[in-house]
Amino acid sequence: MAHDFLLLLAVLVASASAAAVKNKPKKDQPSTDGDITLLNPTAINGMNFYETDILLTDEQHQQVIGRKAISNLALRWPTAANGFPEVLYRFGDANVDKTAVAAGIAHWEANTCIKFRLDESQTAPHIKFIMGSGCWSYIGRINSSTGQDLSIGTGCTGVGTVAHEIGHAMGFYHEQSRSDRDSQVKILLENIIAGKESNFKSYADNNYSVPYDFLSDMHYTSKTFTSNGKLTIATVDPMNQELIGVRNGLSHMDLLIANKMYPCIEKWLSKCNLTSDPCQNYGYMGANCTCICPSGSAGANCETLQKAYYDTKRFGYSQIITSDANPVTSPNYLVITLLT
């Protein structure tokens, strides 16, 4: 009964969130760009999508083990002569939104040590940005002289969506594929379109000791592949429902994994003449020799926890009151009273 009640609360919170968006300042609104469930076809050139927007090579189909980030070094982008990872790219057609691509690339470059280099004549493995049908990418680096397509189609041009698809090309799977996801979210199979259930599997993974993140740019939305307009993913804590699928850019934990994965943090520590990372509470050493701290932490080494990680990231559409006292009202809040 308690579990069913929590799921009901999650539905109420999500419904109120959608209504409250209309009254919130534009700067606080989550991105609605890149709803891959609606934008993407089921297949491209005879190849079926894996988890909605990922294309896999024949070899990957045989070996795929979904996780947050790939472990196979052969699928990572190589290091250039300057000692930092470099991704070669070009534009595959004249219709792709180059401004949107540039913004997504800038977002990755500003927050990692990965650099992207445009070379239209490139024959080495590279990303080929196209305006295809929807938003999709291969996973990791594909060894192809003709390049690996990455589609930024109509409705896919928000920086968070472009960063999401580049994330797949860097080696990221979806957040809700992690093996620890069942302690954080519940997959509501009864609300998923028949035949789409396989998109919600969880797998053994390599998460680089980074916790599950509702804010991840790689997380599905609450109603991905819904058959009836109801939730397909419900957060165990209803207060977190509004956080998932908000695709405004890479989260702190996304960046922590990316910078461990490539490995940028090691390079920055060496540059800063440090033998170990002094940053605490999932902070990490950045390029300017100072700690990059997660939301809610402060101090030179992120040692002071002032708030919970998610507290400053909520949109304020829900609030839980844990008593049966007088009702509380607010124009932008849903108030849920839990009788104790």
Could you list the active site residues? 165
Q: What sign does the CA torsion over 234, 237, 238, 244 have?
A: negative
State phi, psi for 73 to the nearest 5 degrees.
Answer: -65, -25
Q: Identify whether the C-beta of residue 224 lies closer than 8 Å to the C-beta of residue 233.
A: yes
Closest CA to 165 of 59, 52, 252: 52
User: What are the structure tokens assigned to 108, written together?
Assistant: 């990755």
Calpha distance 145→134 (Å, rounded): 24
What distance in Å separates the CA atoms of residue 203 and residue 69, rounded to the nearest whole number? 12
In the three-class reduction of DSSP (H, G, I as helix; E, B as strand; rest coil), residue 194 is classed as coil
Report the distance separating Cα 84 and Cα 280, nearest Å. 25
Q: 319: part of which helix (H) or strand (E)?
A: strand 318-321
Helix, strand, coil shares of the chain, percent, nearest 5, are: 30, 15, 50
Reference 211, options 256, 164, 264; nearest CA is 256
Query: Measured in Å, how far apart are the chain's first and last C-alpha atoms?
Result: 15
